[in-house]
Amino acid sequence: MKQTVMHTEYVTGGDDMSDIIEKEGVSFVSFRLFTPYKGLTAAVSTRLGGVSTGDFKSLNMSFSTGDDKEAVKENRRRYFNALGISIKDLVGCNQVHGVHIEQVTKKDCGRGVEGKEDALPGCDGLITNEPGVALTMNFADCTPLLFFDPVRKAIGLAHGGWRGTAGNIAGLTVEKMKEAFGSEAKDILAAIGPAMGPDRFEVGDDVIQAFTNLFGKTEVLDLYKPTKEGKYLFNMWEANRRLLLRAGLQKDHIECADICTHTHTDLFFSYRKEKGKTGRHMAVMELH
């Protein structure tokens, strides 16, 4: 099976820790933090290698965008084939920018395969310790958060939009894994996937206030810079990294892809840059 690795220097110009893999005609982000663990699949798709057309070109993973449903099914089939896992393992959810986290099992596999109607409702975090359960979520600027406990053999996946991040979904996912599986924060590895970067994510006073409530008046100053009256550039990557550290993860157990979806619409979908008319890329976590 042919596989090509493109280091993300192509994307970021930095010495970061993630790679873009091309396999079976499909491209996806792979995290070096997870690479040593052969019993784990962890990836975030790019927009390359699918059959969708127009605004959704080409590897759109979402049924909620207005794209042709059969095209989305084919895109998902190609992606899962490239990852070497079964589409029947997929567990999908309808994301609502909240902080609700569900523990799922094999009985949930197949939810969301055929459409959003049978996906898990109102959910922005998934965890499991069962092999053959593919946790999935869709993104187009929001932050994918991927979790793996190699000791307890458990995984988690969370959707870090600004509301979810301000609600500390990163820390809540760690707590949920501790409660459900006996995980210890010091053992958990976490990756922060492609998302809108700190030079592009412009927000208003409401967002700054939400994060001031979370971090406090002093620490929050490290996370944004004013651009014009009532507007600021906010660093979601760093906010999530700090929340993971606060949750007890070790510094060297956190990997940030450092890939801005807004800057690189040649590789990723960007809801904001493409004014809402675009596709979604998909994060997948599965134990084997």
How far, in Å, CA of 29 to CA of 110, rounded?
24
Residue 211 lies in a domain: no
Residue 215 lies in a domain: no
pLDDT for 18 equals 84
Mean pLDDT of 238-252: 98
pLDDT for 12 equals 43
Residue 185 lies in a domain: yes
Q: Determine contact, residues 160/99, Cβ cutoff 8 Å.
A: no
pLDDT band at 79 (very low <50, low <70, confident <90, very high): very high
- pLDDT tens-place string over residues 199-225: 999 999 999 999 999 999 999 999 999
Residue 261 has pLDDT above 70, yes or no: yes
Residue 23 lies in a domain: yes
Residue 205 lies in a domain: no
pLDDT band at 10 (very low <50, low <70, confident <90, very high): very low
* Percentage above 70 pLDDT, the chain: 94
Residue 80 lies in a domain: yes
pLDDT for 232 equals 98
Range of the domain at 152: 18-197+253-287
pLDDT for 53 equals 98
CATH code, domain carrying 137: 3.60.140.10
What's the predicted TM-score (pTM) here?
0.95
Residue 152 lies in a domain: yes
Residue 165 lies in a domain: yes
pLDDT band at 196 (very low <50, low <70, confident <90, very high): very high
Mean pLDDT of 14-33: 86
pLDDT for 162 equals 98
Number of domains in the chain: 1
pLDDT for 36 equals 97
How far, in Å, CA of 26 to CA of 59, rounded?
8
